[in-house]
């Protein structure tokens, strides 16, 4: 990693801890038998991609879940709670690290997210840290459901690069999904795969960035 001037951060399992197994268990409890195939880190039902792009609304997503479970009595809160169960929170020190990095680099957030998770996380940031979102931590934030594009589609990376006049060779992208990194690499972006038990704070200390 040389000549880094810009850093693009994924959110889930880079900054904000998530647990896919908890979501799978929650879907199973609602009545989805093939929960691991229905939703996972590397494969998922097409409804999740559509939800990430904002192509379906929260109500349409919940209607789909009721259809998949065969249970029309499921409430909005039951579905939201199951879906949000994977969202664990932010490790102490991550926000402070990101604020410090903003003084040294041009920093951006690029997250595959949906309306239900977005609302939950915005409420969490307000209650836990008093933050009104993430806009003060990064130069600019990109949420898939607001852009209509999601990783690993090259269009979302092109958007970030071109909109901010970033040189890919001077840009580092940190993500926990190999398929997302592969797409960024094709555009000449430097990448790092975040895998547990490694952490964002350990990475920056180790790399002396």
* Residues labelled as active-site residues: 10
Neighbours of 92 (CB within 10 A): 8
Cβ–Cβ < 8 Å for 148, 53: yes
Phi, psi of 14 (to 5 degrees): -120, -55
Largest distance between two CA atoms of the chain: 56
- In total, the chain counts a number of residues equal to 209
Smallest CA-to-CA distance from 16 within 103, 131, 106 is with: 131
Tell me the three state secondary structure of residue 184: helix
């Amino acid at each position: 990693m040389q000549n880094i001037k810009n850093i693009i951060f994924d959110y889930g399992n880079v900054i904000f801890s998530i647990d896919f197994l908890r979501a799978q268990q929650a879907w199973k409890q609602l009545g989805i038998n093939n929960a691991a195939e229905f939703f996972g880190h590397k494969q998922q039902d097409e409804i999740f991609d559509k939800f990430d792009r904002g192509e379906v609304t929260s109500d349409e997503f919940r209607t789909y879940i009721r259809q998949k479970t065969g249970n029309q009595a499921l409430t909005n809160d039951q579905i939201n709670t199951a879906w949000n169960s994977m969202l664990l929170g932010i490790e102490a020190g991550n926000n402070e690290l990101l604020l410090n990095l903003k003084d040294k680099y041009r920093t951006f957030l690029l997250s595959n997210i949906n309306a239900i998770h977005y609302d939950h996380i915005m409420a969490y940031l307000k209650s836990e840290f008093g933050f009104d979102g993430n806009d003060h931590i990064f130069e600019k934030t990109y949420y898939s459901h607001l852009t209509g594009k999601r990783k690993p589609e090259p269009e979302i990376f092109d958007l970030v690069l071109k909109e901010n006049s970033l040189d890919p060779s001077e840009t580092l992208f940190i993500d926990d999904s190999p398929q997302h990194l592969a797409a960024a690499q094709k555009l000449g972006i430097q990448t790092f795969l975040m895998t547990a038990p490694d952490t964002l704070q350990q990475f920056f200390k180790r790399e002396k960035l």
